[in-house]
Amino acid sequence: MVASSGNYSTTVTPKISYNFPMPLTKRIRVLALLLLLAACQPQSALRVHLILDGQIRGLALGDGIPVHMLANAGIAFSPADRVLVNGSPAPMGSPIQSQGLVTLQLRRAMPVTLVAPNGQITVNTAAFTVGEALREAGVSLFVSDRVEPPVETSVVSGMTVASRPGAN
């Protein structure tokens, strides 16, 4: 098809479409089939990795409550031990609220001797720092108090922590 106007002529080519529209009922059937296939896929199960004494192992989810998972796996623990879920402290008796891969860490309590002017005691603690261990033991510190090693020091098994009142 040629169109001309004055001195110029242009060729107009009719557009041919190769996209045949799918009838609406067929589109609905295809969409329903895709939704059905998606719904039938297995749900991604919660996977639990346990870090215990420097070792990593898989753990059965069960009901998702850490205390039950540890008991079902035959892992002994004490009430002073601490559970971390994905690195954050979590109650041992509450279900895990995470999806997908979960890292469960059992931080075992360890003996720490606390020495103060009024005596000494040994406590079992799963605290991360000396300050946390003192707080768990009910020791109140004041800004002027002296603590050795410092309160931000990581707790290790068998350590001795000395605290004494500072000068007023």
User: By C-alpha distance, which of 149, 135, 141 is closest to 166?
Assistant: 141
pLDDT value of position 60: 79
Q: Which of 111, 91, 105 is nearest to 48 (CA)?
A: 105
- pLDDT means per 10 residues, the chain with 168 residues, are 58 62 72 72 68 87 87 90 92 84 92 93 95 92 93 96 86
- Give me the residue spans of the domains in the chain: 47-107, 110-164
pLDDT, residue 18, reads: 58
pTM of the model: 0.64
For residue 99, CA distances in Å to 3, 110, 135, 151 come to 66, 31, 33, 35
Can you give the pLDDT at residue 64? 86
Distance of CA 152 to the CA centre of its chain: 24
Q: Which CATH architecture has domain 110-164?
A: Roll (3.10)
Three-state SS for 64-130 is CCHHHHHHHCCCCCCCCCEEEECCEEECCCCCCCCCCEEEEEEECCEEEEEEECCEEEEEEECCCEH
d(CA 120, CA 111): 13
**CATH architecture type of domain 47-107:** Roll (3.10)
Residue with tokens 């002529």: 9
Evaluate whether 47-107 and 110-164 have a shared fold: yes
Q: Which of 58, 61, 126 is nearest to 95 (CA)?
A: 61
